[in-house]
Amino acid sequence: MNETSASPAPARQRPDAEIARSWLLVPGTKPECFDSAAKSRADQIVLDIEDAVDPKRKPAARDDVVAWLEGGGEAWVRINDRSSNFWSDDVDALVGLPGLLGVMLAKTEAAEHVTETFDRLHGVKRVLALVESAVGIELSPSIASARGAFRLAFGSGDYRRDTGTSADDMAMAYPRSRLVVASRIGELPGPIDGPTVGSSHPVLREQSSIAVALGLTGKLCLDVDQLPVINEVISPTSSDTAWARDFLADFESRGREIRDGSDLPRLGRAQKIDRLARAFGVLPN
């Protein structure tokens, strides 16, 4: 076992997972990277013992993840899907670990996948359902409403492989919007978009902006270099923050009086922007 897995570095203070923007996936086969991920700009880190790990290496990767969490590390863990031969061992190994923030359940296709995982983990606080197929997208409202569901995430690569859909923004708008609507039905926080592959920051910025426009509020990430861009794009802008605080100040100064039909929607938007800006440290310009 890698020695670095026994002495995790202290993680920085991160935004709460309900509003977390950037979710950094770290292969479970690279325990030497766990500490640096914990110190990165990621809002949340996810130690991956599913797609990032060859089947022959999954037991060893699981052991390294468990050792790091037992040693004081804190992270989410992406576990194998409910139908796989690895799911049972994954959940049994994670039960009761104090450093486990929650699990990301791969290839979720039914509400029962969430509830069975939640129950098997003895009520672990959060099960983040990763939806990666046509079946999962169509059943996403029931998945979002399942007991134990915390948030939805989009496995965009596997979804394209399952459906033959291209990466074109128009082609991907439906599954993204479906997850947004499902999250609202299940009264969950906004869903997390799939990762952008590649090193082009302009492309990442554009795709993150499209996700935000569709109502997604987070993004999976495979590279620490992408974190600053994702965090910036998914945060309120300085100008929006200034507008929100000006509106709220004016609203208070007039005794919180509603003047017309646009005031309540604007009040809701201003309160949301102000709350997120304070959580992310965004200052008005």
pLDDT tens-digit map of 140-176: 999 999 999 999 999 999 999 999 999 999 999 999 9
Q: Partners of 77 in the beta sheet?
A: 47, 103
Q: How confident is the model at residue 10, as a pLDDT?
A: 53
User: In angstroms, how far is the first alpha carbon of the chain from the final one?
Assistant: 49
Q: For tokens 């709220």, name the residue.
A: 248
Backbone angles phi, psi at 273, to 5 degrees: -60, -45
Distance of CA 52 to the CA centre of its chain: 17
When pLDDT is averaged across residues 16-29 and rounded to a whole number, the result is 97
Per-residue pLDDT at 5 exceeds 80: no
Q: Letter for the amino acid at 244?
A: A
Decide if pLDDT at 13 tops 90. no
Q: Which of 134, 264, 230, 128 is nearest to 186 (CA)?
A: 128
pTM: 0.92
pLDDT for residue 199? 84
Q: pLDDT-based confidence at 14, cuts 50/70/90? A: confident
CA angle, residues 29, 191, 86, in degrees to nearest 5: 35
Domain annotation for the chain: domains and CATH numbers: 3-234 (3.20.20.60), 238-280 (no CATH)
In this structure, are residues 198 and 224 in contact, taking their beta carbons and an 8 Å threshold? no
Q: Are strands 149-154 and 75-79 parallel, antiparallel or unpaired?
A: unpaired
User: What average pLDDT does the segment 61-84 reach?
Assistant: 97
Q: Contact at 8 Å (CB) between 152 and 192?
A: yes
pLDDT at 19 over 90: yes
Q: How confident is the model at residue 261 (pLDDT cuts 50, 70, 90)?
A: confident
pLDDT tops 60 at residue 6 = no
Q: What is the rounded distance in angstroms from the CA atom of residue 60 to the CA atom of residue 246?
A: 54
pLDDT greater than 60 at residue 1: no
pLDDT reading at 12 higher than 90: no
| Average predicted confidence (pLDDT) for the chain | 93
Mean pLDDT computed over 108-135: 93
